[in-house]
Amino acid sequence: MHSFCKTFFRGAALAGLVAGLLASAGTASAATSGKATVQQAPAAKAQGEYAGQDTCLGCHEDKAAAVKDGPHARAFNPNSPAATAGCESCHGAGKAHAEAGGDKSLIKGISKLPVNQSSELCTSCHDRKKHALWAGSQHDQRNVGCTSCHSVHAAKGAPQLKAKSEPELCASCHKAIVNKQSRFNHMPVRESKLGCSSCHNVHGSTNMKLLKAGTTVDESCTSCHSEKRGPYLWEHAPVADACVTCHDPHGSNNDRMLVAKAPFLCQRCHVTARHPPTVYDSYALKNSSAANRISGRSCLVCHQLIHGSNSPNGKAFLR
Ligand code: HEC
Ligand code: HEC
Ligand code: HEC
Ligand code: HEC
Ligand code: HEC
Ligand code: HEC
Ligand code: HEC
Ligand code: HEC
Ligand code: HEC
Ligand code: HEC
């Protein structure tokens, strides 16, 4: 009995251990790559010797800002270049380069690296939280790297961005989308109340289209517009499906950023409804006293609770 107990217990403990190891495999690898940050200096040392950043600055005074000012100079953070190897945290050990009077072949020139390699350099430190899903994300896949958007030495806007503002940065590649900001109705991005990054995480996400929150478009929208989340007693199918069926999140010339004006908005789907196929030729509405109320808010004059209703009589979203 006693020995059975022991064996059983050992077996169980072993199984537990294996399961634990399997479960923590993800976290464990994250933790080791985190550690690599701290150990990066010794690792780089194997390829050469360090000169120290004062030596570098002797010839590259113009690059001083990167290690004396700004985020990479925050020496209180033990992972920062300032607290590790200074210039050489990023450019690699450079004693040979310095002693050769600046031989280019003996130092890592980052803007000449292939994009995936320069991104790897950055993710050797920035691999957590917001950046955990970078590898294989839409930008990574299309050879847009960290240094396509950030500059360590010549940033124009925070955080280390290559352009003064976020929309300006995005516009260099997504002009059509950023231009929608000048439409009559838009999210307050132009007014700086929201940024593109209020909805997107350009560094990778679990949602489609690099959306920051949730796993569906709706979850992304309702992370702010929680009152539209429901559940409703009477759900309107397209609302439960995707808000972008009716709204353009980047802006539109219709009220409420709608992709089309009512009745056309509704008639993209409701063409064969019992009542009215169109507001203009319906037996129900034509010449009735209701007909002249249809201009303007159109179908919405009556179908007010278009996102869903909780009234027992709300099947048609009238109340
Ligand atoms: C004796 C002066 C001197 C010292 C010290 C020095 N460099 Fe240089 N470095 C140069 C010169 C000169 C060039 C430009 C070579 C050229 O354009 O042909 C250069 C180029 C570079 C480049 C660009 C390489 C490329 O491929 O374009 C980097 C990066 C660099 N240095 C980093 C460093 C770092 C980091 C240190 C300190 C470890 C350092 N340098 C120390 C003189 C120096
Ligand atoms: C040796 C580690 C290390 C490397 C390599 C590194 N960083 Fe950093 N980075 C840091 C640390 C640490 C901070 C400061 C975080 C803090 O606020 O404490 C920082 C800050 C930043 C910030 C600003 C964050 C803010 O809140 O303002 C940006 C942007 C950034 N890094 C981009 C890059 C890019 C792009 C690269 C690659 C070219 C890179 N980093 C390489 C360690 C590193
Ligand atoms: C956080 C990483 C990081 C640190 C720290 C850093 N650099 Fe750079 N360096 C870069 C990146 C990335 C580029 C490419 C241009 C840019 O992003 O501004 C670059 C570009 C350069 C260049 C121009 C050649 C090229 O590759 O474009 C020189 C020279 C240079 N750095 C020298 C230095 C010196 C000297 C220091 C220390 C005073 C230093 N760097 C610190 C990341 C870094
Ligand atoms: C498509 C442009 C783009 C690319 C590519 C990009 N970034 Fe960013 N990054 C931004 C913008 C915009 C912000 C500010 C909004 C935000 O925090 O999401 C930012 C913020 C950051 C911050 C500070 C924010 C924080 O809270 O940590 C760091 C650090 C950073 N990026 C590092 C990186 C690294 C490392 C890479 C490459 C693996 C990278 N970025 C690739 C645009 C980009
Ligand atoms: C250097 C060019 C470049 C910059 C700058 C850039 N992007 Fe991109 N972006 C791309 C490319 C290329 C793709 C991949 C397009 C594709 O797959 O159709 C992409 C994809 C995306 C996607 C995903 C599209 C999809 O189909 O999944 C989003 C969202 C996005 N970018 C947002 C942004 C935001 C927000 C910014 C500004 C902070 C930005 N991008 C800056 C080049 C860029
Ligand atoms: C209110 C939230 C929100 C804001 C703010 C926002 N987006 Fe989007 N974005 C979305 C949604 C939702 C989608 C997916 C749309 C779809 O599937 O029809 C998207 C899609 C995209 C795409 C992919 C387009 C495509 O056709 O596949 C790009 C690129 C993009 N956004 C860039 C930006 C840029 C640049 C900004 C800032 C000017 C921005 N977004 C601001 C919510 C937003
Ligand atoms: C990061 C928070 C945030 C997210 C995510 C978000 N919104 Fe918004 N939304 C806002 C803010 C802020 C306003 C402006 C409210 C105001 O001005 O009173 C707004 C306004 C609106 C408006 C009203 C515009 C008008 O003219 O009155 C609509 C419609 C809208 N959002 C739809 C969406 C849709 C659809 C999504 C998902 C694609 C979404 N929102 C995601 C914050 C957000
Ligand atoms: C079937 C089309 C349709 C769908 C799908 C839809 N909406 Fe709307 N939405 C509208 C219409 C129409 C209006 C204007 C209502 C009015 O003027 O009375 C509106 C207005 C809004 C407004 C501003 C006015 C208000 O009621 O607060 C917000 C915010 C909004 N929608 C968010 C969302 C979100 C979030 C989703 C997804 C969960 C969504 N919508 C899905 C048609 C739709
Ligand atoms: C993308 C397609 C689509 C759009 C756009 C759309 N609807 Fe719907 N609507 C549906 C579907 C699907 C149903 C569920 C039909 C069913 O259950 O038989 C529905 C149900 C309804 C119902 C309840 C019908 C019933 O018998 O339960 C009303 C009322 C309604 N929609 C009005 C509107 C109005 C008004 C608009 C415009 C603001 C609109 N819809 C836009 C697809 C759409
Ligand atoms: C004057 C008020 C009014 C206007 C305007 C109006 N409706 Fe209705 N709608 C109603 C009423 C009342 C019902 C019936 C509800 C019931 O049967 O319980 C209804 C029912 C519906 C239904 C569900 C019944 C069915 O056909 O199966 C749909 C779908 C619908 N309307 C779509 C629309 C669309 C699309 C528009 C704009 C082109 C519109 N409505 C304009 C009052 C209106």
Q: Is the pLDDT of residue 44 over 50?
A: no
Number of structural domains (the chain) is: 1
Q: Are 290 and 305 in contact (CB under 8 A)?
A: no
Q: Is the pLDDT of residue 273 over 70?
A: no
- Give me the pLDDT at residue 35, please: 35
In a domain, 171, yes or no: no
Q: Are 266 and 299 in contact (CB under 8 A)?
A: yes
In a domain, 7, yes or no: no
Tens of pLDDT, residue by residue over 98-121, are 999 999 999 999 999 999 999 999
48 pLDDT band, cuts 50/70/90, is confident
User: Nearest residue CA, atom 6 of ligand 6?
Assistant: 196
Mean pLDDT of the chain: 81
Taking the C-alpha atoms of residue 162 and residue 157, their distance in angstroms, rounded to an integer, is: 7
Taking the C-alpha atoms of residue 125 and residue 34, their distance in angstroms, rounded to an integer, is: 7
In a domain, 29, yes or no: no
> SS3 for 228?
helix
Identify the bridge partners of residue 185 per DSSP, sorted by sequence position. Answer: 252
- Give me the pLDDT at residue 187, please: 82
Taking the C-alpha atoms of residue 243 and residue 256, their distance in angstroms, rounded to an integer, is: 12
Tens of pLDDT, residue by residue over 51-78, are 999 999 999 999 988 888 889 989 899 8
Q: Are 263 and 275 in contact (CB under 8 A)?
A: no
Q: How many beta carbons lie within 10 A of that of residue 63, not counting itself?
A: 17
In a domain, 34, yes or no: no
Cβ(203) – ligand 4 distance below 6 Å: yes
Domain of 290 in residue numbering reads as 228-301
In a domain, 204, yes or no: no
Q: Are 280 and 209 in contact (CB under 8 A)?
A: no
Q: Is the pLDDT of residue 79 over 50?
A: yes
Cβ(210) – ligand 6 distance below 6 Å: no
Cβ(319) – ligand 3 distance below 6 Å: no
Q: What is the pTM of this model?
A: 0.90
- Give me the pLDDT at residue 47, please: 63
Tell me which ligand sits closest to the C-alpha of residue 106: 1
Q: Is the pLDDT of residue 28 over 90?
A: no
